[in-house]
Amino acid sequence: MSIEVSVIVPARNEDACLGACLESLVTQTGVDFEIIVVDDHSTDHTRDIAASFSGVRIIEAGPLPDGWTGKNNAVITGARDARGRWLLFTDADTVHLPGSLARALAEAQESAADLLSYSPEQIAVSFWEMATLPVVFAELARQYPPAKVSDLASSIAAANGQYILVRREAYDAVGGHTAIAGSILEDVALARAMKSSGRKIRFRYAADAVRTRMYRNFRQLREGWTKNLALLFPNPGWLAVKTLLLWAVPWSALVLVPLHLLRFPWDAILLSSFVYITTRLRSANFDLIMEILGAFLGMPMFAYFLLRSKRAHARGSVSWRGRTYGAEDRTVSQIADHVPTTAGRLS
């Protein structure tokens, strides 16, 4: 029986979440699929957890080549061994709703998309997750509007590496992750490579299909956004300043109005400013409490992460999961311009 989808899960020290991910994957129905876990030199119980699931294949990621990121090395290892006509790259911290794999395949086929990417429902537990994530994802929605990403006429391209379903033939044609092996922001780089070659992308928020808790403590939260933000936004310094100014206006009014240093209509402006900031976060798909937390405390934290990310990339020292990467030789947009439009199956 032919395999429709090869599910590839790169995993590096993921014993906190891999079990839940695989439980949600092995029970998928309505499509013929295989699951490949690529153990990326884990030092915890990641491999043992993967081995406890019947039918899950485990592959060891090879030595990390110079200039490559660990995730790209892992997913390339999985892609080389995959047998499906479609490849689903999904992270170990994701949980997939029942039947979502079959529905995603049908959606990709019905929309004639070569690459379908879902932005998962983000689960926030700790205080700083709840305050920061609404701000980050609201800004991402403005920078990469899903409707424009999905429009072939628009040059805007994006994908979320937590869930990328791609037609194998199209993936090979643009060189796959091999063509972007050094890119820290591999999901956006792959999307740009696909779109620049004339292939269709479909991108949307998909709480109906997959959810994730990206970061489980403040250190991971800070490290993860330090790795990504300066690459996701073209002018991170200016965005940090703009965010702080937008946040400071209502707070300044809040202090000055009771001191009678500002008079009407500043009290009305104060209220409308807070309403505007909270509404601004609505596109992030979080509840009202998290939007309020984001408006009050998440915005300065987002500015801090932006500046920290800009500094780390300027220094050429970006840390993630025990590895340190230097500055990228090319931006993701430049990488996309240099991928091949035709290529053989990855070898």
How would you classify the pairing of strands 94-96 and 210-212? Answer: antiparallel
- Delimit the CATH 3.90.550.10 region(s) of the chain: 5-124+144-215
For residue 331, what pLDDT band results from cuts at 50, 70 and 90?
very low
Q: Which fold has domain 5-124+144-215?
A: Spore Coat Polysaccharide Biosynthesis Protein SpsA; Chain A (3.90.550)
- DSSP letters along 15-80, please? TTTHHHHHHHHHT--SS-EEEEEEE-S-SSSHHHHHHTSTTEEEEE-----TT--HHHHHHHHHHH
Each residue of 140-190: pLDDT tens digit? 999 999 999 999 999 999 999 999 999 999 999 999 999 999 999 999 999
The predicted model scores a pTM of 0.88
CA distance 98 to 81: 26
Which residue in this structure is represented by tokens 């999961």? Answer: 321
* Terminal C-alpha separation, the chain: 23
Structure tokens at 74: 């892992």
Please give the full DSSP string across 123-177, using - where no structure is assigned.
P--SHHHHHHHHHHHHHHHHHS-HHHHT-TTS------TTEEEEEHHHHHHTTGG
What's the pLDDT tens digit per position in 266-283? Answer: 666 666 777 777 788 888
Residue 307 has pLDDT above 60, yes or no: yes
Per residue in 46-63, pLDDT tens? 999 999 999 999 999 999
- Proportion of the chain above pLDDT 70, given as a percent: 88
Structure token digits, residue 316: 């050429």
Q: What is the mean pLDDT of the chain?
A: 89
Q: What SS3 state is found at 185?
A: coil
- In Å, how far are 2, 74, 106, 228, 339 from 312, measured between CA atoms? 46, 24, 41, 10, 27
Q: What is the mean pLDDT of residues 13-41?
A: 97
